[in-house]
Structure formats: structure tokens, C-alpha cells
Amino acid sequence: MPEEKIVKKPGVCIPWEEKIKEYQKITGDENILKQVWEDIDNLAYVYIWFCLIAA
Amino acid sequence: MEKLYNERLERYVTAMQNKKPDKVPIRPFVAEFVAKYAGYTCQEVTHNADKAFAAVRKCAKDFDWDAVVGNMVYVWTGMTEAASLKYYRVPGIDLSPDEAFQYVEPANEAEAHMRADEYDQLIDDPTGFLANVWLPRVSRDLSKDEEACNYRSNLAWLKGGIAMMKYFQGFGVQADLLKKESGTVGAIAGALKAPCDILADKLRGYRQLSADMFRRPEKVVAACEALRPHMMYNAIASADPTKTVPISVWLHRGCAPFMSYQAYEKFYWPTLKQIILDLWSIGYQVLFYAEGNWDQNLKYTAELPDRCIIYHVDRGDIFEVHKQVGHKFCLSGGIPNDLLTYGSPDDVRSLCKKIIDAVAKDGGYIMDAGAIIQQDAKTENVKAMTEFTREYGVY
């Protein structure tokens, strides 16, 4: 069965749902990993779109 | 200084609510003008953001303006050169140091930053398309998909991103300094473009988009819709969290002679209108900075809820605009830039009086030029606009 495509929402470059597949195991708090991943990923998103809109 | 700041903020916000403040607010969008006034070249304020910020603050101290933009020389070429973006003519490199930067739009299909057969890629994944195709195509250094990654490419990504962060931080410091040093309000926060303008300006080029509207209209509509949520997101991401000052939408090619009202109705207006409505529904006003003459579009603009926009007049007839939509929206602008460049202080004062008498009499008007004020504007005319408005524009 083909893998379901993860649709990127505004604010996202690499969705957490895609990133987490790279980890064999999460031994600690997944929410911390998710939150920080999404915060920094969002900065990259803002940069890409800033180049388009205002630079 | 806090008292002065609060008075100015109250004045500015009251007018934006289409009400009558104590005086007509003055909110000039001064760009390269600040360079001339502060003794810098255009190159200095375009390439060195700290000098641009300093020039704005010098002007804000010397002119009795209620609100200004932290830096209206909107492209920081220090950052665009770090990312190696190809589409600017830069003062001090491609132009003389005393000329304002120029944006070079794709002139034909071969130069288009997005090819005609790439609409589906953009629609399917806008962020992915920008990162994988558009940015590498518009940068000299970023490696293209088929190339091996290299040192210059890695650094271009890194430096561009870091430069953006530094620039954003600079705006925060600037807002604070403007408040403390001169009691001046930051006029806007958050940037927005109409999806159709993004397609024309940065992706296809105006000529190619014009052809696309006939050859592949469904793709143009779908691309605008794909861009819409991202425009919304980015506008909010950089907006005033207190929702006091508006988000600005810089409107380029939706007007005659660039676009017929039929094309406007089909391609340009639907997504722009939806974004404005969605922003208003969560408490944000939008400064509808309509560059050129947007008078033929007024019947569409009038569809918007009262007070959701501040309508800015560039080359339109501000007196006619006031008649048609002045009861709904605060207006700004209406002083032609060529008057500030070629006219006399008396000419400027005379027009300011006409506008204040006809348009500002019930409030809901903000004094400004039609377009951003650049290095060609005479200082004595900008002074005349400011001083006359301050003296005569009292309710």
C-alpha cells in the first residue's frame, strides 16, 4: 500500500510526522522533541517565504 | 516622551478606526529620503541596515511625524547578497551609490523564475517548490537539484537565514528606540502580498502571467488559492501581537492598465478578499496600499466590511475615493510623489489644504504621499507637508 503523503501546512518545512520516522526509538519525552523541532523548522519556513514576499 | 508617544498612538489609531482624532495624523512612508536627509548615500541605507535604522530615527527626531516604518528601504541588500539573489540591481554594485535599488522582473519565458509547466509543483507543495526550485533558480550560489551540494551553496542558505534573524531583531530594537528617542509610533507590522502579485512579481513575471491568464487560467486560479494560506500565515507571523497597528498589503498589478476588471474579478480579487476577511475576523486591520490608480476597483473594495482596511491612495483621485468609500474606511495618501520632487512648498501646502478640507474634515484620514518617498523628494516639500498638516490639520 503506498505511503500516505503528509501534506505540509503553512509554517512547516519538514513535518514532525515525517521526522519522527527517522528515529528508531524515542526513549524520553516526544513532546519536547516535537516542539523544538517545529519551532526551528518554522524559522526555516519563515526565511523561505520571507525571500518570496519581502526580499 | 511616553506622553508624546501615547498622544501620537491615540491619534493614529483613532484615525484608522475612521474616527476623528485631535489632529490629522502624519505617517509618511519615507524610504531613501531618509538617506538624503541624514547624509547617507542610497547604497549606505540599502546595504547597511544599521545606517538605515539610524537615518529613520534622525528623521523621526527632526520631523513631527506620528508614525513611521522602522525601515522603508524594504530590501536589505546585505542579506540578498549573502543569499546571492540575482534579481536586484544594487546601488554601489550595479547602480551608482545614489540610486535606489531596482527589482528586475523576468521579461520572458526563458527568464521566468517559475516555468509554465511548473504550476502543479507549486500548487502541490508551495514551500517545497520555493526551497527546491525557486530559491536555487534565483540565487547564484544555491545549488540546483541536479547539482552536488557545495560550500558556497551551504553558506548561502546559512548566511541568508542568519541575516534575516538579525534583521528581524533589528526591527524590534528600532521600534523601541523610535518610541524612546522621539515618541514615534511604528506604523505597520506584518507583510502581505496578493497571491496574484506574487505570481507576477516573483514567479512568472507580469508578461508571462498575463499570457497564463488566457492559456492556463485554471492553473492561475489554483496557484493563487495554494498561495493564500501561506500569505495569511506569514502576515500573522510578523504582525503586531496587540493588533493595534495594521498589516500592510503592497498591491501592485491589480489595477489598470495592468489588469482589466474582468481579470481582477477572476484571478486577483477572490484570494485577496478572503485573506483580508480572514485577518479581520481575528482582529487585524490591513493597510490596503494600492500602488497606482485603483479607482476602477473601488466597487470590489467597497465589498469589504467597514474599518477592516485603511485605504491608501497613490495615483487615484482621493476626492472621488473619499466620496465612494470614505464612510467605510480611513484613507491615507493622495499627495503625489512628483509634487514632492518637482513642486514648491506652496504647491504642497495648497494640496494638503484641499485634501484636509475635503477628505479629513470628519476624521478618518492620514497624511502621506502616494508612494514611498525616495531620495528625489525635496526636503523643504516634506517639511511643508509635515508643518502645514500639523498646524492646519487640527480638529
Residue-wise pLDDT tens digits, B310-347: 999 999 999 999 999 999 999 999 999 999 999 999 99
Closest C-alpha among B48, B72, B49 to residue B59: B72
The alpha carbon of residue A31 is apart from the nearest alpha carbon of chain B, in Å, by 23
Residue B385 has pLDDT above 90, yes or no: yes
Instruction: Give me the residue from B76, B161, B233 closest to A10, CB to CB.
Output: B233
- Note whether A10 contacts B161, CB cutoff 8 Å: no
Instruction: Give me the residue from A47, A49, A55 closest to B230, CB to CB.
Output: A49
Q: Indicate the pLDDT class of residue B116, thresholds 50, 70 and 90.
A: very high
Over chain A (55 residues), what is each successive 10-residue block's mean pLDDT? Answer: 72 94 90 93 94 93
A44: closest chain B residue by CA: B161
Which residues in chain A have their CB less than 8 angstroms from residue B134's CB? 52
Q: Does A39 touch chain B (CB under 8 A)?
A: no
Q: What is the mean pLDDT of chain B?
A: 96
Predicted complex ipTM exceeds 0.85: yes
- Note whether A51 contacts B130, CB cutoff 8 Å: yes
Dist. CA B128–CA A14, nearest whole Å:
9
Residue B107 has pLDDT above 70, yes or no: yes
The percent of residues above 90 in pLDDT, for chain B, comes to 95
Residue B4 has pLDDT above 90, yes or no: yes
- Note whether A55 contacts B76, CB cutoff 8 Å: yes
Beta strand B247-251 pairing with B286-290: parallel
Residue B144 has pLDDT above 90, yes or no: no
pLDDT at B59: 98
Which residues in chain A have their CB less than 8 angstroms from residue B131's CB? 13, 48
Which residues in chain A have their CB less than 8 angstroms from residue B233's CB? 10-11, 49
pLDDT at A2: 55
pLDDT at B118: 98
Residue with the larger pLDDT of the pair B74 and B127? B127
Which residues in chain B have their CB less than 8 angstroms from residue A45's CB? 127
Dist. CA A25–CA A29, nearest whole Å:
11
In SS3 terms, chain B reads as CHHHHHHHHHHHHHHHCCCCCCECCECCCECCHHHHHHCCCHHHHHHCHHHHHHHHHHHHHHCCCCEECCCCCCCCHHHHHHCCECCEECECCCECCCCCCEECCCCCHHHCCCCHHHHHHHHHCHHHHHHHHHHHHHECCCCCCCCCCCHHHHHHHHHHHHHHHHHHHHHHHHHHHHHHHHCCEECCCCEECCHHHHHHHHHHCHHHHHHHHHHCHHHHHHHHHHHHHHHHHHHHHCCCCCCCCCEEEEECCCCECCCCHHHHHHHHHHHHHHHHHHHHHCCCCEEEEECCECHHHHHHHCCCCCCCEEEEECCCCHHHHHHHHCCCCEEEECECHHHHHHCCHHHHHHHHHHHHHHCCCCCCEEECECCCECCCCCHHHHHHHHHHHHHHCEC
In this prediction the pTM is 0.95
Q: Indicate the pLDDT class of residue B149, thresholds 50, 70 and 90.
A: confident
- Note whether B237 contacts A11, CB cutoff 8 Å: yes
Q: Does B122 touch chain A (CB under 8 A)?
A: no
Residue B147 has pLDDT above 90, yes or no: no
Which residues in chain B have their CB less than 8 angstroms from residue A6's CB? none
Residue B185 has pLDDT above 60, yes or no: yes
Average pLDDT over residues B21-43: 97
pLDDT at A3: 58
Q: What are the grid coordinates assigned to B310, written together?
A: 485603511
